[in-house]
Amino acid sequence: MMNWHDESDGDIRRLLHRGRCGLGLALTFTLAVACGGDPSSEAADGGVLPIDDAATSLSDASIPTPDAVPVDAGPQCGDGVVEGEEVCDEGKENSDSWALEPHCNEACTGLAPYCGDGDVDGDDGEACDDGLGNNDVWEPLEHCNSTCSASAPLCDMPEDTSVIFPRPGVPYPPENLHTTEKAVLGKILFWEQQLSADDTVACGSCHQGSAGGSDTRAGLALHPGADGIDETGDDVHGSLGIRRCEMIAGVPVAKDDEIFGDRVQVTDRKTPSFLDAMFAPSLFWDGRATDAFLDPDTNTVAIVTGGALESQALGPIMSPVEMSCEGRTFDDVYLKMATIDPLSLASDLPPDMANAVCRYPSYPALFEATFGDAAISAQRIAFAIATYERTLVSDATAFDRFTDPVAPDLTALSEGEQRGLALFEGETGCSDCHSTTRPNVDAPANFSNQDFHNLGFIDMASQTNPDTGLQRTTGLAEDAGKFRTPTLRNVGLREVGGLLHTGLNTLEDVMAAYNNPSVPPGPGSTTDVRMIPLGLTSGEIADIIDFLRDALTDPRVETNSYPFDHPTLFAP
C-alpha cells in the first residue's frame, strides 16, 4: 500500500488536476514566465491572464534558459509575482526569480517552474515538452516548448499537524479503522462536485463549517411541503439539490419537475450538521442510516455495529433530489470516477488534499494508494467519507475550556453564559436530551442523547400528509412526529439557515416554543412528556441563548480552519 506522505517524487512535478487549465479559468500566477513566455505580459504585471490568452501569448515565446535557478537543484518555490517582493522566500531580495527550497518559508504557495500538459497517463508524449519521450514527468523549463499552458505544483505543501488522528475517544468500527490516506481520500470525495450526476453538488455543498456543519443557503431555499403550495404552514427551508434528471444510456438528461419545474430541487428537510456525528448510532433526522452498514454492491453486512456514518455517506450520492438522477446506479458512479480528474472544479485546495491529488491525479490512483488496488466501490467510498467525518470533532469551544477535566479555565465563560449553563443543566431539563456529559473519558460532551423526540412544535393534525419523522423509518404510530436530537455544538452558526428539520427558527423562536409548547403532551399526542411550559423570564432565556450561541461555537469551525478546512467549490 502506498503512502503519499512518505513517498518522494524527487523532481517529478505532477499537475494538481489535469483539467484545471482547460476550464477557461483565469490564472493568477505568471504562466508566461513559468512556461517560457514574456515577462512584460499582462500576467507579469500582476494581472490576470486567461487561459485562451495564455495560449496566444505563449505561441510566439522562446524557450528560456533557467539560469537564475538551476533546474536540477531540487524543489523550488515562489508566489508567481515576478515584480515585487516575494511572500514565500527568506528575504534574500531574489524577488524576481523562483527561490530554491532552502529559501522558502511557510507562506509559500506558488508553483515551481516546470511545465506539462497534465496527461500523466498518456503514451503520446507531453504536448509541451521537447519530444524526448519522458511524458510521465513534469519537464524543467529548457524542455518546454511554445504550447505549454500549465505550471506544475509542488507535491509537498506543508500540512497542518496540530491535531493528531485518530482522536482518543472517537469510536471506529473494527471493519473501518483510521488511516491518514483514507481520511484524506474521504475529504476529497466529500468536497467532490463531480460525484453528482451533473457536476453541481458535493456533500460539502450542503454541509458548510461556517454554517455549523449545515447549509447557509437553506434560508433562501423553500420547499412547499406536502401540500405543494408555497407560504403555507408546512413549508420547509431545505437545501438546494440537483435539477431533476434521468439517466438515459448512461447520460444524465434533465426533465421538468412537477413542483420545481426546470429549477433545482429543494430537499424537504433542512440539512443536519455532519460535525461530531461519529457518536450517533443512527443518522438522518428520521434515523434511517442505521448502525449496521450494508454494502449495496454485495447486499452483505460490511459493518456489524458502529457504521451509521458509512450508512449515511452513500444516501445523498444516490438521491435523485440531492446529487443523483433517476435510474442512476453505482456502476454509473464508478465509470465516471474512473475518468474524471479529482477536484477539477474546485479551487483553493487545502494542503493535505492538494498533495494527495498532486501525487495521485486520478481516482483509481487515489484508491490504490489508500486501499492497495485501484478498484472503486460503494463500500470504499463510504469507508473513506466516514473516516474523514470521524476527524471532525469540534471540541475547541469556550465550554470545553471551562469544563476541561485537567485544567479548567474558569474565565472561559462570561457571567451570563455561566448562568445560562446552570439553567441548561438545571431547572429547564435541557441537558436531559442535550447531554453535557462526556460519552467517554477522552471524548467531549456531544449535547445530544442520540434519541428521537416529538417536541410539540408542529400541529400535525392541521397539516395534510405531515412529515412524521421517525415513523417513516419504523412504521410505528408512537413514533409520529419524532425527530433525532441534534447536537447543539455550533448551533449559533446554524441559525443563518434556520434550525430544526424545518429550518424556520432562530434560537429565540426555539426557546419561546420550549417555554410554551404549541402541542403539549396529553391523550392522543406523541409529544414528549417533558415538554411542559418552562416559565422562564426573558432574562433567563437571554442567558441560555448566550450560552448556546457563543459558548458552544468552535472558532475553527467558524473560520473553516484545519481540520475543518475545505476547498472553494465551483458555483454552477
Q: Give Rg (Cα) of the chain.
A: 26
What percent of the chain is helix, strand and coil (3-state, nearest 5)?
A: 30, 10, 60
Instruction: Report which of residues 53 and 103 the model is more confident about.
Output: 103
Read out DSSP for 245-280? EEEETTEEEE--BTTTBTSEEE-SSPPPP-TTGGG-
Of 140-154, 194-208, 310-324, 405-419, the least confident: 140-154
Cell 448566550 sits at which residue?
546
- Please give the Cα distance from 538 to 545 (Å, whole number): 10
Q: Tens digit of pLDDT for each residue in 134-185?
A: 443 445 555 555 555 455 556 778 899 999 999 999 999 999 999 999 999 9
Q: Tens digit of pLDDT for each residue in 214-225?
A: 998 998 899 998
- Please give the Cα distance from 228 to 233 (Å, whole number): 11
Instruction: Report yes or no: 303 and 173 within 8 Å, Cβ to Cβ.
Output: yes
- Please give the Cα distance from 178 to 144 (Å, whole number): 42
Q: What is the pLDDT of residue 433?
A: 96
Task: Assign 265 a pLDDT band (cuts: 50, 70, 90).
Answer: very high
Task: Name every residue whose Cβ is closer than 8 Å to that of residue 365 and which is 6 or more positions away in sequence.
Answer: 374
Q: Tens digit of pLDDT for each residue in 420-440?
A: 999 999 999 999 999 999 988
User: How large is the average pLDDT for residues 510-529?
Assistant: 87
Task: Name every residue whose Cβ is closer than 8 Å to that of residue 89 and which is 6 or more positions away in sequence.
Answer: 77, 78, 95, 99, 103, 104, 105, 108
For the chain, the average pLDDT equals: 80
Instruction: Report which of residues 154 and 293 the model is more confident about.
Output: 293
User: How large is the average pLDDT for residues 15-38?
Assistant: 28
**Residue 543 pLDDT > 90, yes or no?**
yes
Q: What is the pLDDT of residue 339?
A: 96
Instruction: Report which of residues 542 and 2 the model is more confident about.
Output: 542
Q: What is the pTM of this model?
A: 0.77
- Torsion angle of the four alpha carbons 153, 156, 157, 160, in this order, in degrees rounded to the nearest 10: 160
User: How large is the average pLDDT for residues 182-204?
Assistant: 98
